[in-house]
Amino acid sequence: MHQKGHYGAALVAYAPVVFILTALGYTTLGVLGGAVVVGGAMLPDVDQRIPGVKHRGPTHTVWFALAVGAVAGVGGLLLGTSRGVLAALGTGLFGAVVGTLAVVAHILADVLTPTGVRPFAPVHGEKYTLDVVTAANPIANYALLVIGVVVAGVAVAGGLALSG
């Protein structure tokens, strides 16, 4: 998929998280996390700018997702230290979830394409593809973006209704 499609996939993947956070009264944190997930949605495609790294190779794996989650988790941990141990652990966990989810959403969107991905390489080299649309299909990319915006919006609205 292209950028707009990846943004939409990130919003769909993040919707359950923002719903829970909003329902618990953490709307600002939920929206901030959504911005981070969308902001990181294109991170796996950094491989296109690194000579010698195959596109949809190492940066399109669960291992990369976990590494990004670990880095974001440490960042969250450091951000939360000024507010105490529990806050640091909470923001660290939140950072890990958001970082991991940004990459996982990207991988899942690429599964829609004929090229697919090998998310468990090099441990397991099987290619996963649903072969639904080409990555360059503008209708599919815009549709995924619209779906993401709608799903995330419904999640926020539902969370707000529950928090009451």
- Each residue's pLDDT, cut to its tens digit, for the chain (164 residues) gives 999 999 999 999 999 999 999 999 999 999 999 999 999 999 999 999 999 999 999 999 999 999 999 999 999 999 999 999 999 999 999 999 999 999 999 999 999 999 999 999 999 999 999 999 999 999 999 999 999 999 999 999 999 999 97
Residue type, 4: K
**Residue 100: Cβ within 10 Å count:** 22
Question: Model's pTM, two decimal places?
Answer: 0.95
Q: Can you give the pLDDT at residue 54?
A: 95
Token pair 């988790």 is at which residue?
73
Q: Can you give the pLDDT at residue 164?
A: 76
Q: 3-state SS of the chain: helix, strand, coil percent to 5?
A: 75, 0, 25
Distances (CA, A) of 57 to 43, 53, 73, 116, 135: 13, 7, 23, 11, 16
**Residue 150: Cβ within 10 Å count:** 14
Q: What angle do CA 95, 97, 52 make, to 5 degrees?
A: 90
Q: Can you give the pLDDT at residue 82?
A: 94
Helix (H, G, I), strand (E, B) or coil at 36: helix
Beta bridge partners of 95: none
Cβ partners under 8 Å of residue 128, min gap 6:
111, 116, 117, 118, 119
Q: Can you give the pLDDT at residue 79?
A: 94
Helix (H, G, I), strand (E, B) or coil at 139: helix
